A and B are shown apart, each in its own frame.
Chain A
Amino acid sequence: AQTVTQSQPEMSVQEAETVTLSCTYDTSENNYYLFWYKQPPSRQMILVIRQEAYKQQNATENRFSVNFQKAAKSFSLKISDSQLGDTAMYFCAFMKHDAGNNRKLIWGLGTSLAVNP
């Protein structure tokens, strides 16, 4: 069975600085997808970034980038130039490639990030 671990329940960062959120996972699959979702106080669940396991290149979306280490089963999220609007709960999630009807996202417990002015 797959598991996702986020070892930092809470983090804080000063506005404009860089922060890295960690995520590790366990799977015997070779093809899969990894996601970071953000849930601000409004509680809307927002996709931040997605990584396909077969791609060696790390995904980036503007100020958000990942460090994907497949052998180490690590998938950290780096937020550059942190903004107050980045304050949110961040969830790391795993999905098998050939999910078929079993499109279950396996979620970490989340990291609560506070961006301080």
Chain B
Amino acid sequence: DTEVTQTPKHLVMGMTNKKSLKCEQHMGHRAMYWYKQKAKKPPELMFVYSYEKLSINESVPSRFSPECPNSSLLNLHLHALQPEDSALYLCASSQDSGTRGTQYFGPGTRLLVL
């Protein structure tokens, strides 16, 4: 079972809105990731939660904030986004490092910021 689920599938928001993206996995994985992907580009890593520790890509603006309520859930809170933040947001999870560090991805949330 390599299922990672993400909600919502699509999201349209204004620049003053606050919204959240949700990601869930039931594979017992201990690491979860948020990526941002623009069309026809590879994903860019935003955040890693591993064994309840957060690692941040320092280039990610503070209008994105991750939250990990438990080891199965990972949220991404969005506030005061800009139109250039419109992208596909992918969540992934992995068991550990080494071979078990293989990342499995959810279907993504397509975000449009107006």
Contacts and interface: CB of A to CB of B under 8 A. Distances in A.
Do A and B truly interact? Answer: yes
B51 to A, nearest CB: 8
Contacts of A44: 105, 107-108
B43 A103 contact: no
Given A101-B50, A101-B55, A103-B97, A43 B41 contact: no
A105 B41 contact: no
A73 interface: no
B94 interface: yes
B42 A95 contact: no
Interface of A, helix, strand, loop or mixed by DSSP = loop
Interface in A79-104: 89, 91, 93, 95, 97-104
A72 to B, nearest CB: 23
Closest CB pairs A-B (n = 5): A107-B42, A45-B105, A99-B97, A44-B107, A101-B50
Interface of B: 2, 31, 33, 37, 40-43, 45, 48, 50, 53, 55, 88, 90, 92, 94, 97-99, 101-105, 107-108, 110
